[in-house]
Structure 1
Amino acid sequence: MIKKIGFIVLWLGFVTYAFFLSPPEQPGTFELIKNLSTGRWEGINPLIVSLFNIMGVFPMIYSCVLFIDGRAQKISAAPFALVSFGVGAFAILPYLFLREPNAEFPGQKNWLIKILDSRLTGVLLFIGAAILVSYGLVNGNWGDFAQQWQTNRFIHVMSLDFCLLCLLFPALLGDDMARRGIQNQALFWTAALIPLFGALFYLCVRSPLPEKNQISTPQPAST
């Protein structure tokens, strides 16, 4: 219960800070978001381009765990996972508050779970994130980014959202490892403590999710 209260308090605090305490929204924010979304990156700091696209990778990382976790929950994880593509941790925190700890995966994997459970998915996400981070680090202007972080609400909140998504992943990690029979503290702390790439490394190396056969209805004995 204490953990649940912590999640909802963190969500309320993040919402309050984002809308009332963060830097003011700047003119041209909508145009910036449109250009970032459509690949018109000329004149935009590569660090911002990289961060914006990584915020699309993170919901995929969470989806690789959320859809599996949600199979045994009273609530569906799908709406939270899908909305997180637009609002990040604003959608993940309510799910963490509503879910219950569960270390089992009932039933069979459907086609979506098979894709999200695949190590190949993790590898592709890892490669994509590595390209984005390299692009930002090599070509980015840190002075400009720092100035925009201090004055632009969109850049400021997006950066905090990135940090929060890094911190929240361990809340789902323990149960995901238990479902797979993984007892490796080194792997847990690697995924928990290394921002972004720790979670991606975990998706690349985790054991496949075991399936439980559905209980078949006994057939009447023949006479």
Structure 2
Amino acid sequence: MLRKLGFGLLWVGFVSYAFLLAPPQQPDTFTLIQNLSTGQWDGINPIIIALFNLMGIWPMIFACLLFFDGRGQKLPAWPFASLSFGVGAFSLLPYLALRQPNPEFTGEKDNLLKLLDSRWTGLAIGSAAIALLAFAFLGGDWANFIGQWQTSRFIHVMSLDFCLLCGLFPALLGDDMARRGWQNSPLFWLFCFPLLGAIAYLIARPPLPTEEAPQTTPNPV
């Protein structure tokens, strides 16, 4: 109950801060989002470009856990996972507040679950994330980024959203590890390391065991 209350209060606090206390919205925000979305990156700080694209990487990481977790929940995970591509933690926090602990997986994996469970998917997501981090750290202007963080609601809230997603990953990690036979593993704390730990987990985790479909024997003639 305290866990649910904590996630609920965190969601209310984040929403309230984003709309009431964050820096004001800048008049060029829509144009910036449009340019970031369409790849027109000339003149945009590489840190902003990397951060915007990493906000698309995080939902992919969460999807690799959410769709398995949702199999045993009363509410489906896919609406929250889908919305997270647009609003990040704003949609994931309600799911975390409403879900029940779910350290087991029953049934078979469909094609989507097989894709999300694949180590190759983890490698693809990890390669893209590391490339974006390198792009930001090697070519970014940090003084400019700090200035925009202090004055632009979009940059400010997006940055906080990224940090919040880093902090929320462990909330699903423990159950996903248990589903794969990694209960009480000390590796849990390694995989909690912001972003890089989540990438390492997707690459290192063993495939999820599933129930085999019962075989039927033909009736004797």
- For the criterion TM > 0.5, the same-fold answer is yes
Q: Which residue of 2 aligns with 1:174?
A: 174
Q: Which residue of 1 aligns with 2:110?
A: 110
1:205-216 mapped onto 2 (5 Å cutoff): 205-213=204-212
Q: Which residue of 1 aligns with 2:201?
A: 202
What is the RMSD of the two structures over their aligned residues, measured on CA atoms? 1.6
Q: Does 1:157 align with 2:157?
A: yes
Pairwise CA distance, 1:106: 1.3
1:37-186 mapped onto 2 (5 Å cutoff): 37-183=37-183, 185-186=185-186
Q: Does 1:27 align with 2:27?
A: yes
The one-letter code sitting in structure 1 at the alignment partner of 2:52 is F
Q: Does 1:15 align with 2:19?
A: no
Deviation readout 1:119-143 (Å, 9 max, x if unpaired)? 1111111110010000011110000
* TM-score normalized with structure 1 length: 0.95
Tell me, in whole angstroms, the C-alpha distance in 2 between the residues paired with 1:17 and 1:215.
53
Pairwise CA distance, 1:212: 1.7
2:42 alignment partner, SS class:
coil
Task: Give the gaps of 5 or more residues in structure 2.
Answer: none
Instruction: Work out whether residues 187 and 202 of structure 1, in 8 Å CA contact, stay in contact via their aligned partners in 2.
Output: no
The one-letter code sitting in structure 2 at the alignment partner of 1:212 is E
Q: Does 1:4 align with 2:10?
A: no
Instruction: Work out whether residues 7 and 96 of structure 1, in 8 Å CA contact, stay in contact via their aligned partners in 2.
Output: yes
Instruction: Work out whether residues 103 and 176 of structure 2, in 8 Å CA contact, stay in contact via their aligned partners in 1.
Output: yes
Pairwise CA distance, 1:213: 3.3
Tell me, in whole angstroms, the C-alpha distance in 1 between the residues paired with 2:213 and 2:93.
32
Tell me, in whole angstroms, the C-alpha distance in 2 between the residues paired with 1:100 and 1:212.
22
The one-letter code sitting in structure 1 at the alignment partner of 2:191 is A
Tell me, in whole angstroms, the C-alpha distance in 2 between the residues paired with 1:67 and 1:201.
19
Pairwise CA distance, 1:187: 1.7
Tell me, in whole angstroms, the C-alpha distance in 2 between the residues paired with 1:214 and 1:78.
25
Moved beyond 6 Å, runs of 4+: none
The one-letter code sitting in structure 2 at the alignment partner of 1:39 is G
